[in-house]
């Protein structure tokens, strides 16, 4: 019975958060997208065990100010992140990434975790929000190789998903010759 009450309370808080976000964005059916998203690599060389950082630029391409819902917490909370190996497989998801991607276990969630989850931010016409996103917070990169990464988020004007460009990142083993050359220069 207690779990059922907690589940109902959780659903109520989630619905309230969605309503709050909807009031912020006020999408219009058939409207043109107001956002564009671009992703850039931050590091030239990424080795196994190091953080994989990307720079994400979200730009208002409309001719008017828009309100954008921004989640509290790290920049990885602002976007859905898609990662695939060059062969098409998904890397393992971290515990934080599992929760962030809405695979949370209701029995361990607390209502306090969902209250005050974000706020509306005004983004002027032609203005951008630039953030560094630590992809390693969401995914486990335990194998060297090439990975394709894209981010996306709902457009506040049209409610359609706005997808970024795809960035190709190579992760080298720790004893790779390029890594040794870079370390020798330091």
How many other C-beta atoms can be found within 10 angstroms of the C-beta atom of residue 136?
17
Give the residue among 60, 82, 58 at the shortest CA–CA distance from 71: 58
Q: Which of 58-62, 93-97, 179-183 has the highest mean pLDDT?
A: 58-62
Report the b/e string of 157-175 with b at 16+ CB within 10 A: bbeeebebeebebbbbeee
pTM of the model: 0.73
Alpha helices, H only, the chain: 2-25, 95-100, 177-185
Q: Please tell me the least confidently modeled range out of 9-18, 63-72, 82-91, 159-168.
A: 9-18
Pairing of strands 139-140, 92-93: antiparallel
pLDDT, one tens digit per residue, over 72-94 is 877 878 899 999 998 999 899 99
How many other C-beta atoms can be found within 10 angstroms of the C-beta atom of residue 56?
23
All structural domains of the chain, each given as residue ranges with its CATH number in brackets, are 2-185 (2.60.40.2970)
């Amino acid at each position: 019975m207690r779990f059922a009450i907690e589940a109902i309370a959780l659903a109520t808080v989630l619905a309230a958060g969605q309503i709050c976000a909807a009031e912020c964005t006020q999408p219009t059916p058939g409207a043109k997208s107001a956002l564009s998203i671009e992703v850039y690599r931050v590091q030239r060389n990424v080795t196994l065990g190091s953080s994989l950082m990307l720079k994400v630029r979200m730009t208002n391409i409309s001719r008017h100010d828009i309100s954008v819902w921004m989640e509290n917490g790290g920049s990885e909370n602002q976007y859905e992140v898609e990662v695939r190996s060059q062969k098409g497989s998904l890397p393992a998801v971290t515990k934080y990434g599992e929760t962030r991607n809405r695979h949370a276990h209701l029995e361990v969630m607390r209502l306090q975790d969902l209250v005050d989850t974000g706020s509306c931010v005004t983004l002027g016409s032609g203005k951008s929000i630039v953030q560094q996103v630590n992809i390693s917070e969401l995914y486990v990169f335990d194998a060297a190789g090439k990975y394709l990464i894209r981010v996306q988020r709902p457009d506040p004007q049209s409610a359609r998903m706005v997808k970024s460009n795809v960035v190709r990142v190579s992760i080298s083993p720790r004893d790779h010759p390029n890594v040794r050359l870079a370390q020798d220069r330091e």
